[in-house]
Amino acid sequence: MRAFKQTFWLTLIKLGIFITILSLCLFLFLIFTKGGKVISLSFLFEPPKEGMTKGGIFPALIGTLYLTLGSILFALPIGILAAIYLSEYAKPSVFVSAIRIAIKTLAGVPSIVFGLFGLALFVNFFGFGVSILSGALTLGILILPTIINASEEAIKTVPQDFREAAYALGATKRQTIMKIVLPTALPSVLTGAIISVGRAAGETAPILFTAATFYTRRLPKSILDEIMALPYHIYALMTEGTAPKFQVPIAYGTALVLLLLVLTINLVAIIMRYRIRRKKKW
């Protein structure tokens, strides 16, 4: 009886993971095959034509590039500096606890709330309008907690021995951080940054009202222009498109491009992490 129970439950569990892996594979298979039919070099590098029924997604690709670049340019310096403060300078206090609570809370805010926040603050209050700037800032704040956490982890991994050696040689705290701690932690910090870039590239809700538009005639000329973006393009094609027969395949194609982009970015991060672990000699 006991043996039967065990077989029953273990089989159920094995079934469970089988279903999970199968559905995820099915999902990926679908995107790859349906998207693959549409993908070509011209798809990647040409703008949409004929009312979004033909052509490519180049402006969306560029838009996603600008948005993620902008978000990381904003979030990385702030994130690293904040992590430096938290791990090298901060002493336990109510103030520091408040900062940590704020970081955790930020990490849990739904992405649509970020979108509304971006709309209220950047688009309306600051008057940036629906633009790359608004979108990048909103995305930047979205990924900030991840960057702070990854950077703090990386800095904490630097052995105390190195700091001691630097101090004993007459280095100040700032010199020790800038010349020893940070360079040593940098590869891991960058890995965290890369993962955040992947996240920023795939987010739709934060850019819905802050940056994205379905169609622009030309590529953006300034950061105050609105832009197309890959995730938004998928959504728009499916919900605002007037010719589903043509547009659903394009949506699949765009999804495949976005998927490959995100997977590649994450793969780069995983490889970096693996190589860091191997290279570490201390």
Partner 1 sequence: MVESEILIKELNLWFGNNHILRNITMPINKNKLTAIIGPSGCGKSTLLRCFNRMNDLIEGVKITGSIFIDGKDIYSEKTDVYALRMKVGMVFQKPNPFPKSIFENVSFSLQIKGKLNKQAISQRVEKSLRDAWLWDEVKDRLHTQAFELSGGQQQRLCIARALANDPEILLLDEPTSALDPQSTIKIEELLIELKKTVTIIQVTHNIAQAARISDYTGFIYLGELIEFGPTEKIFTTPKDKRTEEYLTGKFG
Partner 2 sequence: MIREKLFKYFSLLAAICAIVFLLSIIVSIFREGLPIFGKVGFLRFLFGKSWHPTQEPAEFGILALIVGSIVVTIGALLIAIPLGVGSAIYLSELAKPQTREILKPFIELLAGIPSVIYGLFGMAFLAPFIMRLFNLNAGLNAFTASIVLGLMVVPIISSISEDAISAVPKSLREAAYALGANKWETIRKVVLPAAKSGIFASIVLGFGRAIGETMVVLMVAGGSAIIPKSIFQPVRPMTSAIAAEMGETVVGSDHYQALFGIAIILFTITFLSNLITEAMKGKVKR
Region 47-66 residues binding partner 2, contact defined as CB under 8 A: none
Would you say 141 and 70 are in contact if contact means Cβ atoms under 8 Å apart? no
User: Quick one: DSSP state of residue 53?
Assistant: T
CB count within 10 Å of CB 281 equals 4
Give which of partner 2, partner 1, none residue 282 binds (C-beta under 5 to 8 Å, depending on kind). partner 1
Between 117 and 281, CB nearer to partner 2: 117
Identified binder of partner 1 from the candidate list 38, 130, 180, 234, rule CB under 8 A: 180
Structure token pair of residue 61: 């690709």
89 binds partner 2 (CB under 8 A): yes
Q: How many residues does the chain have?
A: 282
Identified binder of partner 1 from the candidate list 64, 71, 151, 184, rule CB under 8 A: 184
Give which of partner 2, partner 1, none residue 41 binds (C-beta under 5 to 8 Å, depending on kind). none
173 binds partner 2 (CB under 8 A): yes
Nearest distance from C-beta of residue 170 to partner 1, angstroms: 4
38 binds partner 2 (CB under 8 A): no
List, in order, residues 6 or more apart from 36 with CB less than 8 Å away: 256
Please report, as a single letter, which amino acid is at residue 234.
Answer: I
Which residues in 141-170 contact partner 2 (CB under 8 A)?
Answer: 141, 144-145, 148
Which residues in 78-107 contact partner 1 (CB under 8 A)?
Answer: 91
Identified binder of partner 2 from the candidate list 42, 124, 157, 264, rule CB under 8 A: 124
Give which of partner 1, partner 2, none residue 169 binds (C-beta under 5 to 8 Å, depending on kind). partner 1
Identified binder of partner 1 from the candidate list 75, 103, 143, 166, rule CB under 8 A: 166
CA dihedral 134, 221, 77, 272 (to 10 degrees): 110
Identified binder of partner 1 from the candidate list 161, 218, 222, 239, rule CB under 8 A: 161
Residue 170 Rama label (left phi>0; alpha psi -120 to 50; beta)? left
Identified binder of partner 2 from the candidate list 143, 190, 208, 227, rule CB under 8 A: 208
List, in order, residues 6 or more apart from 255 with CB less than 8 Å away: 31, 35, 234
CA proximity to 212, closest of 239, 245, 192, 248: 239
